[in-house]
Amino acid sequence: MSSSFAYRHSPIWAQELLISAKSSLRSTMREGRAFGAMAAEIHKSEWWSERRLRAFQSEKLQMIAQSAVSNVPYYRNKYRPLDLDFEKLEFPEALAKLPLIGKADVRAAGKSLISERKQGPLFSGSTSGTTGAPLGLSQDLAAINRENAFIWRQLTWAGLRRGDRRAWMRGDMIVPATQEKPPYWRVNRAENMLMLSSYHLSESAAPSYLDSLARFDPVVIQAYPSSIGFLATWMLSTGSRYRGISLRGIVTSSETLSEVRRREIESAFGCRVFDWYGQFERVAAIGTCEQGRHHLLSDYSFVEMLPAEDGLFELVGTGFNNLSMPLIRYRCGDLVRPAPANERCSCGRSFPLIERIIGRVDDSIKLSDGRSVGRLDHLFKGVEGIIEAQIRQDRLDTIVMLVVPSPTFNERTRETLQSNARYRLGDGIALEIQLVDSIPRTRNGKFKGVVCNV
């Protein structure tokens, strides 16, 4: 938003008016006529039994597969040679007869994935393309409303009610990049929301961020893990306290949240972190309940678990939301560790439990013997003195670690990082540690733990 000339050159009160007006339009669309009914529906389905959820999924899958094979050219061509009678197939079992698809298929399919049966206007969007080429997808209004109803359900689990104050730190360009002193936030009156910039976080700006949050006193903070995590780590390393009194929960999403980060955020802000996992393709969603457990939301989509290394599984999802551009058996590329199948959550919901969300398959570096190594958060095990760090690889024989140090960073920190790296990656690759003031964000304000260019 701050990229527009008019916005950048307006006083703060006018910027806040523009933010509120735009946000009001956006909520009219996202929470339009169908939203209320959908929200009510999914507040019921969260309490359904396993059997009822299964029946619901089976019905949805039947409808989506049938509509795809009749109305979507891509599936018509792909499924026709399979010679299946879609009216008689029993779902979810029959899903296994259909092929898996991935990002490359969607990119190649282009408009042939769009249904010929019109469901009203379509809204197009694309991924930011920070890793690989961007992926373009279209969705209808019902899909946008339904997605939003699910996000609201998660906010409710975190303790938010409609109209409550909330804070938002999710990469919106609300403060011009050239601005060098606070306020690094704007008030969005239409949504009763304090919006804070993800791009201006630094050790020197941290006290004013914390102060503005406490003064606004939100009930829930919605944030990228890296944005709220930066503040939390800074608070713990300097002994600063959060002085707001209404905060019930922090909802993180859009980046992988490590266990260490989660604990730091909870201890710095004194409330629970509700991590939400979703993706742009909208084929799987994982929410966090009041008991702090991750639930795979089986009223959102149908998810299959594709076995990967080390007892982990890749999520393969079929979305229920978007009949205008359905994705069936779509490989998300994200890994999870499910909880044992018979484990139940004390919150009383029947949604399956996920032990850990591991994150992207492609967050990895390459070794000269051809191996690809992911889950590099192990390198930071037992390491103190780091506010945040990024691993970059531009050559096969070297990785560079950019580190924003806290006051406790010392020689021992370096030694532990070096020995962790040798233990995990072997002697064939050198680790160079560079201390920096801040780590650049991607175009949409996200933090990347690993950037591999080889």
Is residue 275 within a helix (H) or strand (E), and if so which, with residue range?
strand 272-276
CB of 345 to Zn ion, least distance (A): 3
Q: Which long-range contacts (CB under 8 A, 24 or more apart) does 58-65 make?
A: 58/90, 58/91, 58/92, 60/302, 60/320, 61/91, 61/92, 61/95, 61/302, 61/318, 62/89, 62/91, 64/318, 64/320, 64/323, 64/326, 64/328, 65/89, 65/91, 65/94, 65/95, 65/98, 65/328
How many residues belong to the site for Zn ion (CB under 5 A)?
Answer: 5
Nearer CB in complex with Zn ion: 141/339: 339
**Which span (42-50, 116-124, 142-150, 283-291) binds Zn ion, by CB under 5 A?**
283-291
**Which span (159-167, 292-300, 358-366, 437-445) binds Zn ion, by CB under 5 A?**
292-300
Q: Please give the backbone phi and psi of residue 98, each rounded to the nearest 5 degrees, phi first.
A: -95, 150
Nearer CB in complex with Zn ion: 93/343: 343
Nearer CB in complex with Zn ion: 157/409: 157
Nearer CB in complex with Zn ion: 348/407: 348
Task: Print the binding letters for residues 50-69 with Zn ion: x by CB under 5 A, - otherwise.
Answer: --------------------
CB of 52 to Zn ion, least distance (A): 17
3-state secondary structure of 316: strand
Residues 235-250: b if buried by 16+ CB within 10 A, e if exposed: bbbeeeebebeebbbb
- Tokens for 270, please give them: 């004194």
CB of 355 to Zn ion, least distance (A): 13
Angle at 188 between CA 187 and CA 193, to 5 degrees: 85
CB of 38 to Zn ion, least distance (A): 22
**Which span (112-120, 123-131, 337-345, 372-380) binds Zn ion, by CB under 5 A?**
337-345
**Which span (204-212, 291-299, 311-319, 371-379) binds Zn ion, by CB under 5 A?**
291-299
Nearer CB in complex with Zn ion: 178/346: 346
Instruction: Say how far apart CA 12 and CA 129 lie, in whole Å.
Output: 31
Task: Print the binding letters for residues 128-157 with Zn ion: x by CB under 5 A, - otherwise.
Answer: ------------------------------
Is residue 291 within a helix (H) or strand (E), and if so which, with residue range?
none
Helix locations, 384-429, DSSP H: 411-425
CB of 306 to Zn ion, least distance (A): 24
Nearer CB in complex with Zn ion: 287/319: 287
3-state secondary structure of 393: strand
Nearer CB in complex with Zn ion: 18/347: 347
Asked if 291 is part of the footprint of Zn ion (rule: CB under 5 A), the reply reads: yes
Unique residue bearing structure tokens 């209320």: 36
**Residues between 342 and 401 that touch Zn ion (CB under 5 A):** 345, 347
Contact predicate 105/330, CB 8 Å: no
CB of 295 to Zn ion, least distance (A): 6
CB of 287 to Zn ion, least distance (A): 9
**Which span (260-268, 290-298, 373-381, 429-437) binds Zn ion, by CB under 5 A?**
290-298
Asked if 289 is part of the footprint of Zn ion (rule: CB under 5 A), the reply reads: yes
CB of 431 to Zn ion, least distance (A): 40
| Rounded (10°) angle between helices 259-269 and 225-238 | 60
Nearer CB in complex with Zn ion: 293/331: 293
What CA dihedral angle connects 223, 229, 230 and 234, to 10 degrees? 130
Unique residue bearing structure tokens 């969005």: 188
**Which span (96-104, 147-155, 222-230, 338-346) binds Zn ion, by CB under 5 A?**
338-346
Q: Which of 272, 293, 360, 375 is in the footprint of Zn ion by CB under 5 A?
A: 293
DSSP labels, 318-359: EESS-TTS---SEEEEEEEEEPPTT---TT---SPEEEEEEE
Asked if 89 is part of the footprint of Zn ion (rule: CB under 5 A), the reply reads: no
Is residue 109 within a helix (H) or strand (E), and if so which, with residue range?
helix 103-109
**Which span (8-16, 272-280, 284-292, 380-388) binds Zn ion, by CB under 5 A?**
284-292
**Which span (181-189, 217-225, 286-294, 392-400) binds Zn ion, by CB under 5 A?**
286-294
Contact predicate 399/449, CB 8 Å: no
User: What length is written for the chain?
Assistant: 454
Instruction: Say how far apart CA 191 and CA 35 lie, in whole Å.
Output: 16
Asked if 297 is part of the footprint of Zn ion (rule: CB under 5 A), the reply reads: no
CB of 349 to Zn ion, least distance (A): 5
Positions in the binding site for Zn ion (CB under 5 A): 289, 291, 293, 345, 347
